[in-house]
Amino acid sequence: MEPIIKLQDVDFYYGHFKALDRVTLSMGPGTYGLLGPNGAGKTTLLKILLGFLTPQRGSGFLLGYDLSHDPVAMKSKIGYVPEIGSIIPGMDGVSHTAYLGQLGGMPRQEAMKRAHEVLYYVGLDEARYRNVETYSSGMKQRLKLAAALVHDPKLLFLDEPTSGMDPKARKEMLNLINDISEHRKMNILISSHILADIEMTCGEIVIINKGRIVRREKVNAGQNPHNVYELKIQGNLSLLKKALPEVRFSHGQRNKVMATLPRDFDLHKIFQAAEATHTQIRHLVPKKTTLNDVFVSAVEEGNHGH
Binding site for another protein (CB under 8 A): 47, 50, 52, 72-76, 78-80, 82, 84-90, 99-100, 102-108, 110, 114, 116-118, 120-126, 144, 147-148, 150-152, 172, 175-176, 179, 184
The answer to whether 150 and 101 are in contact (CB under 8 A) is yes
Number of H helices, E strands in the chain: 10, 14
> Running DSSP on this structure, what letter comes out for residue 24?
E
CB of 219 to another protein, least distance (A): 22
Classify 283 as helix, strand or coil. strand
Q: Which is nearer to another protein, 151 or 287 (CB)?
A: 151
Neighbours of 77 (CB within 10 A): 18
Q: What angle do CA 64, 37, 39 make, to 5 degrees?
A: 75
CB of 39 to another protein, least distance (A): 15
Q: Which is nearer to another protein, 120 or 271 (CB)?
A: 120
Q: What does the alpha-carbon distance between residue 16 and residue 12 come to, in Å, rounded to a whole number?
A: 10
CB of 24 to another protein, least distance (A): 25
Strand stretches in 53-142, DSSP E: 57-62, 65-66, 78-81
The answer to whether 266 and 244 are in contact (CB under 8 A) is no
Q: Which is nearer to another protein, 175 or 250 (CB)?
A: 175
CB of 276 to another protein, least distance (A): 56
Regarding beta strands 228-234 and 257-260, do their DSSP bridges make them parallel or antiparallel, or are they unpaired?
antiparallel
Q: Which is nearer to another protein, 1 or 72 (CB)?
A: 72
CB of 120 to another protein, least distance (A): 5
CB of 188 to another protein, least distance (A): 15
Q: Which is nearer to another protein, 114 or 212 (CB)?
A: 114
Q: Which is nearer to another protein, 85 or 262 (CB)?
A: 85
